[in-house]
Chain A
Amino acid sequence: MNAVLSFLKKPLVIALILIVALLYLGENLSPGFASADQILRLLIVASLLGIVAAGQNVVILGGREGIDLSVGGVVSLSAIIAGNVMNGADGGIVPAILACLAAGAFFGLLNGLGVTLLRIPPLVMTLGMLGVLQGLLVVIRNGIPSGRAAPGLSAFVTQPLALGIPGIIWLWIAIGLFMAFMLTRTVFGHRIYAIGSNEHAAYMAGVPVRRMRIGLFMISGMFAAIAGLCLLGYSGSSFANVGEQYMLSSIIAVVFGGTSLAGGKGGYTGTMAGALLLVILQGILTTVNIDESGRQMVFGATLLLLMLFYGRGKAMRA
């Protein structure tokens, strides 16, 4: 009995049960909500969120109040860069990918340098960076018109690639496998947990703490950039602040998945379930005609509720 209870209390199991329950609820509210086509669409949207959350996840795991509030800005910027570089031509996809990754890595590097060398708290540093990025977006938009997605990219995101499943979902699965491997089977992964749970002990054991932390912010920036590129493929053209919603939802997905905001505890599998859960919740809220502002309120309340359940006790105080 105890074994069953503790199994049911695992964040991943809770998330999976909630996913099924929400799908059932959605189907009852609006028949067709849980149809195969609709679930594929939800998975595509969840992939975009899940990719952003992968970066958010490693930053939070690294501890010392690690959090990346600038992901939304990087997603938006990356969508614009990608649109302008490829501008509707398949030949521009590879250069666009490289440009987006470079931009994501660059802003991640700035975040990492601010947090490590200047000792600015991650919350403040990345919030400031978000402000910079939003300003930058306005400047770019006033100068040049934003471009369009290449047909190849749109097909990758929206059309079936293999076994009737779109490429972006395969990409998400690949990222899930990569993250699981990195966190459990590489020295880098073990060091992420080490600095997240006891930074000083990690330093005394020869872990390059600063370089690690800078690296984590760069990874976060690059994942957000990939998500921005894919988001362009999903919507065809980029529009203002397309990535804005990802700041809050990526954090909720990570916390939903059982990663402690205090760092050093958790993993990516739970985050994937968390991302899917959030997207389904979002779908249901849309079905019952709750607008964007209402959805944001529900999301914010969800995060606070989650903190009440998971974060209670030592997690945030540690």
Chain B
Amino acid sequence: MSKLTLNGVSKAYGATLALRRGDLEIAAGEVHVLMGSNGSGKSTLCKIIAGSVRPDGGEILIDDRSVTISGPQSAREQGIGIFYQELSLAANRSVEENVCLAMLPVKAGIFVDRAAMKALAARYIDLFSGVSGDGFAAETLVGNLRADQRQLVEIMKALASEAPILIFDEPTSALDRAQVDRFFHILRGLKRDGRGIIFISHRMDEITAIGDRVTIIRDGETIKTLNLSETDPATVIRLMVGGAGDMPASQSSAPAVASFAAGAAMTVDRLSGAGFRNVSFEVAKGEILGLGGLHGQGQSAVLRAIFGASSEMSGEIRIGGDRFDAKSPRDAIRRGCAYVSGDRGRDGVIAGRPIIENVTPIHYLRDRLMIARPSSLKAKAMPALEAMHTKFASLMHPINSLSGGNQQKVIIARWLIDKPDVLLLDDPTKGIDLSAKADLFALIRQLASEGLGILLYSSEDAELLGNANRILVFNGGSVTRELTGEDRTRYNLYQAAYEAA
């Protein structure tokens, strides 16, 4: 008997179709894995089941009965529990209170029954006894726990819902080996009890270890459901990538292969820090070196560390033979390093100030200026903005009056007045339109041809495959694979990204 069935569920946000057609069938007593690349629609699918997003079309059946899930509360009543990827814990409350948050036992209608709560919480806390680590107790405040321990609390909270259908959206990302093993042991127990479990993970080894069936989502559509015992990882990845996955990146789009004869623009040796370890590579002058892999595998952390924006770091960085260990972004900029963040609202835009003041801060620093003369600054800023094909009415207009793509062009233009030696791009095209992306990559190639060493991290694989000379695939904070020449295919990129670290 099938427990949860989705037929042709769809969801659009404005003009973007997040989920074109979702068909899913979760049986009682199975662990059903959802797989798909970033933005394929699997999160939207989960949110629809959990009630936090209302679908535009299609139907949802529980035990063959058509149901409407109107909100998170309604989902819980229908027997659906979810583990949220973005942790949803109250930091100033204790572990036991967080575990029981959804259904605090109540005495006389209003008072929290502390004894009952303790007993209830203890059931779930004991499930992880021995692997929950130092300092983990029922009374500990969640805010004082480590990341992996907070994730355990989130798992306990989902388990405490005792829902017949449970959704786990990347529950193991922060856990260590022993904790994952214990969690899987618990999941197997739930399976025997006849619960239906939806499991999302990017680790192929975990998926084969715990999953019964897998459904693959690509471009907002559920492509296929397979029995994991009858398939292999290569087939799954091939389905995720789609048809053209084996083709090498088109040669016409890749820039001329950089020659190491020109020398290294930057050498990074055994760099370790928060979120990455033992990363070594070399960028030649004129090379675009791509950093690939799933989101949040240490790519951004490495770029920010090179730029001097993170506190702890060990290893060695050299620019043009000289030791380069930037203590701060200010230090890094002075020594010829540039950094463009995709999160321009946080890292880039000086909101409410004129465009001119958003273009000039790097020039102020590198030229050690004291006086800001509008005429000479204009002469410096205009060519930089024109190189990016930036559209704006006047330099004195506030930067907020521009579109997102044009704002990002202004932010990039600030690095073009005094050219750096190394350019770090941290997902620079996030949230900008296609023509702005095209302008940006045309400029990046031109900068490379002028001899800059460029590091490019992008969450869009097509950008890496189309622009990078080489791609380092990050997995769990380290470089697990280097793709060059003919090997730069979407299939290889996915395979390296999804294999166990």
State the A residues within 8 Å of B (CB): 184-191, 193-194, 197-198, 200-208, 264-265
Are B361 and A205 in contact (CB-based, < 8 A)? yes
Complex formed: what's the CA distance from A200 to B357 in Å?
A: 15
Q: Complex Cα distance A194/B357, Å?
A: 8
**Residues 347-388 of B at the A interface (beta carbon under 8 Å):** 347-353, 357, 360-362, 364-365, 369-374
Cβ 8 A contact of B353, one of A206, A207, A264: A264
Is there a chain A Cβ closer than 8 Å to B177's Cβ? no
C-alpha gap A52/B352 in the complex (Å): 26
Q: Which of B41-49, B88-96, B266-274, B333-341 is found at the contact surface with chain A?
A: B333-341
Please state if B330 and A206 are interface contacts (CB–CB under 8 Å): yes
Report the bound CA distance from A148 to B330 in whole Å. 49
B329 contacts the other chain (CB 8 A): yes
Provide a sorted-by-A list of 5 A–B residue pairs whose CB atoms are within 8 angstroms: A185-B374, A187-B370, A187-B372, A206-B361, A265-B352
Nearest first, the 4 A-B pairs at minimum CB distance are: A205-B361, A206-B330, A206-B333, A206-B365
| Cross-chain contact B353 with A194 (CB below 8 angstroms) | yes
Residue numbers in B under 8 Å from A193 (CB-CB): 350, 353, 357
Closest residue of A by beta carbon distance from B371: A186
Contact present for A187 and B414 (CB under 8 Å): no
Interface residues in B318-344 by Cβ distance below 8 A to A read: 328-330, 333-334, 339, 341
Q: How far is the CA of A289 from the CA of B374 in the complex (A)?
A: 51
A206 cross-chain contacts in B, Cβ below 8 A: 329-330, 333-334, 361-362, 365
Complex alpha-carbon distance, A201 and B309, angstroms: 11
Query: How far apart are B344's CB and chain A's nearest CB, in angstroms?
Result: 8
Known contacts A205-B329, A206-B329, A206-B334; is A188 also within 8 Å of B370 by CB? Answer: yes
Task: Provide the residues of chain B in CB contact with A203, threshold 8 Å.
Answer: 309, 328-329
Q: In the complex, are the beta carbons of B350 and A204 less than 8 A apart?
A: no
Choose among B334, B341, B353 the residue that contacts A197 (Cβ–Cβ < 8 A): B353
Residues of B within 8 A of A198 (CB): 346, 349-351
* Interface flags, B31-67, vs A, CB<8A=1, else 0: 0000000000000000000000000000000000000
CB-defined contacts of B374 to chain A, threshold 8 Å: 185
- CA distance in complex: A56, B349 (Å): 26
- Give bound CA distance, A215 to B372, whole Å: 19
Number of A-B contacts (CB under 8 A): 79
Partner of B346, one of A187, A189, A201, A205: A201
Known: A186-B372, A187-B370, A187-B372. A197 touches B329 (CB 8 A): no
In the bound complex, residues from chain A placing their C-beta under 8 Å from that of B330 are 206-208
| Contact pick for A204, options B334, B348, B371, CB 8 Å | B348
A121→B95 CA distance, assembly (Å) = 30
Q: How far is the CA of A137 from the CA of B443 in the complex (A)?
A: 63
Q: Which residues of A contact B307 (CB under 8 A)?
A: 204
Interface size class of B (residues with CB under 8 A): 20 to 34
Footprint of A on B, CB under 8 Å?
A: 307, 309, 328-330, 333-334, 339, 341, 346-353, 357, 360-362, 364-365, 369-374, 414
Are B309 and A187 in contact, with the CB atoms below 8 A? Answer: no
Q: Which residues on the A side are within 8 Å of B414 (C-beta)?
A: 205
Complex Cα gap A140–B191 (Å): 79
**Are A197 and B352 neighbours in the complex by a CB distance under 8 Å?**
yes
Which of chain A's residues has its CB closest to B331's CB? Answer: A206
Q: How far is the CB of A203 from chain B (nearest CB, A)?
A: 6
Of the listed residues A188, A197, A265, the one surrounded by the most CB atoms of chain B closer than 10 A to its CB is A197
Contacting residues, chain B, for A187 (C-beta < 8 A): 364, 369-372
Best-surrounded residue of A189, A198, A264 (most CB of chain B within 10 A): A198
CB closest residue in chain A, given B368: A187
What's the minimum C-beta distance from B486 to chain A, rounded to whole angstroms? Answer: 38
- Of A188, A194, A206, A207, most B-chain CB atoms within 10 Å: A206
* CB-defined contacts of A185 to chain B, threshold 8 Å: 371-374
Which of B347, B365, B370 meets A201, CB within 8 Å?
B347
- In whole angstroms, how far apart are the Cα atoms of A224 and B330 in the complex? 32
Q: How far is it, in angstroms, between the C-alpha of A297 and the C-alpha of B364 when the chains are bound?
A: 46
**A95 CA to B328 CA, complexed, in Å:** 40
Q: Which residues of A contact B309 (CB under 8 A)?
A: 203-204
Bound form: Cα–Cα A148–B346 in Å? 53
Q: How far is the CA of A188 from the CA of B365 in the complex (A)?
A: 11
Task: Check if A204 sits within 8 Å of B352, measured CB to CB.
Answer: no
Instruction: Please measure, in the bound complex, the distance between the C-alpha atom of A112 and the C-alpha atom of B136, giving whole angstroms.
Output: 39
| A204 x B372 contact (CB < 8 A) | no
Tell me which residues across on chain A come within 8 A of B353, comparing CB atoms: 190, 193-194, 197, 264
Contact A197 B333 (CB under 8 A): no
Residues of A within 8 A of B341 (CB): 204
- On chain A, the residues within 8 Å of B347 by CB distance are 200-201, 204
Question: Which residue of chain A is the closest to B344 with respect to CB atoms?
Answer: A201
Please determine whether B360 and A190 come into contact, CB atoms closer than 8 angstroms.
yes
Query: How far apart are B483's CB and chain A's nearest CB, in angstroms?
Result: 30
Check B372 against A190 for contact (C-beta < 8 Å).
yes
Q: Give Cα A203–Cα B310 distance, bound, in whole angstroms.
A: 12
CA gap between A201 and B343 in the complex, in Å: 10
* Complexed CA–CA distance, A185 and B374 (Å): 8
Q: A201-B349, A201-B350, A204-B329 are in contact. List 19 more A-B contacts (CB 8 A).
A: A186-B371, A187-B369, A187-B371, A187-B372, A193-B353, A197-B350, A197-B351, A201-B348, A204-B348, A205-B362, A205-B414, A206-B330, A206-B333, A206-B362, A206-B365, A207-B365, A208-B330, A264-B351, A265-B352
Bound-state Cα–Cα, A246 to B448, Å? 57
Chain A residue numbers with a CB within 8 Å of B333 are 205-206
How long is the Cα–Cα vector from A162 to B333 in the complex, in angstroms?
A: 49
Decide if A202 touches B352 in the complex (CB within 8 Å).
no
* Shortest Cβ distance from residue A169 to the other chain B in the assembled complex, whole angstroms: 28
B364 lies within 8 A of A190 (CB): yes
B2: shortest Cβ distance to chain A, in Å? Answer: 49
Q: How far is the CB of B407 from chain A (nearest CB, A)?
A: 11
> In the complex, are the beta carbons of B361 and A202 less than 8 A apart?
yes
Question: Is there contact, CB below 8 Å, between A190 and B357?
Answer: yes
Pick the contact of A186 from B328, B334, B339, B370 — CB < 8 Å? B370
* CA of A265 to CA of B353, assembled, Å: 8
